[in-house]
Amino acid sequence: MPRRARVLLAGVPSHLIQRGNNHSACFFAEEDYLFYLEHLADQARKHDCAIHAWRLMTNHVHLLLTPAKPESAGMLMKGLGQRYVLACYRYIEMNPVRAEMVEHPAQYRWASYRVHAPAEQSAPI
């Protein structure tokens, strides 16, 4: 059953929580936390949200923010979600390296890395 729509009012602080799918981890390395914070600041400026407090946990994020317009918080979260896809992409490609199966993602045959890397190919899906 879908969650009821939130009521977000301009100028009223809101506590937002963003969780990983099925409570799975969102952050795997220090770079992931820094990536998120960089984009949080960027999206807050872009969508005119004041960030009062934040906490990045392994599998979720807490934000206390005040949106300047009713749609500001939603647009900020949308922007963060779109950026997260890039972090997720990086996690997928680097997974065999983190598992110490290979030293470089191009060395793992059963992945899309070589399709996206210049002059490389992998098995078709």
| Those residues with Cβ within 8 angstroms of residue 89's Cβ, 6 or more apart along the chain or in another chain | none
Query: 3-state DSSP call for residue 12?
Result: coil
DSSP 95: H
User: What pLDDT shows up at residue 116?
Assistant: 80
pLDDT at position 7 is 76
112, 93 in Cβ contact below 8 A?
Answer: yes
Domain made up of 14-116: CATH architecture = 2-Layer Sandwich (3.30)
pTM over 0.75: no
Tracing tokens 């005040």 back to the chain, one arrives at 66
% the chain with pLDDT above 90? 54
State the average pLDDT over residues 93-107. 92
Instruction: Please say if the pLDDT value at position 123 is more than 60.
Output: no
Length of the chain as a residue count: 125
Q: Is the pLDDT of residue 89 over 60?
A: yes
Q: What are the tens digits of pLDDT across the range 18-61?
A: 988 788 888 888 988 998 999 999 999 999 999 999 999 999 99
Domain boundaries, the chain: 14-116
Q: How high is the pLDDT of residue 3?
A: 66
